[in-house]
Amino acid sequence: MEDARVVAVCDVDRQRKIEAKKMVDEKYQNKDCAAFDDYLTTLVA
Residue 21 lies in a domain: yes
Residue 40 lies in a domain: yes
Residue 3 lies in a domain: no
Residue 22 lies in a domain: yes
Q: Tens of pLDDT along 1-45?
A: 689 999 999 999 999 999 999 999 999 999 999 999 998 888 887
Domain count, the chain: 1
Residue 18 lies in a domain: yes
Reduce the secondary structure of 4-44 to three states and give it as a string: CCCCEEECCCHHHHHHHHHHHHHHHCCCCCEEECCHHHHHH
Query: By residue range, what is the domain housing residue 15?
Result: 8-44
Residue 30 lies in a domain: yes
Residue 2 lies in a domain: no
Can you give the pLDDT at residue 41?
A: 85
Residue 14 lies in a domain: yes
Can you give the pLDDT at residue 42?
A: 81
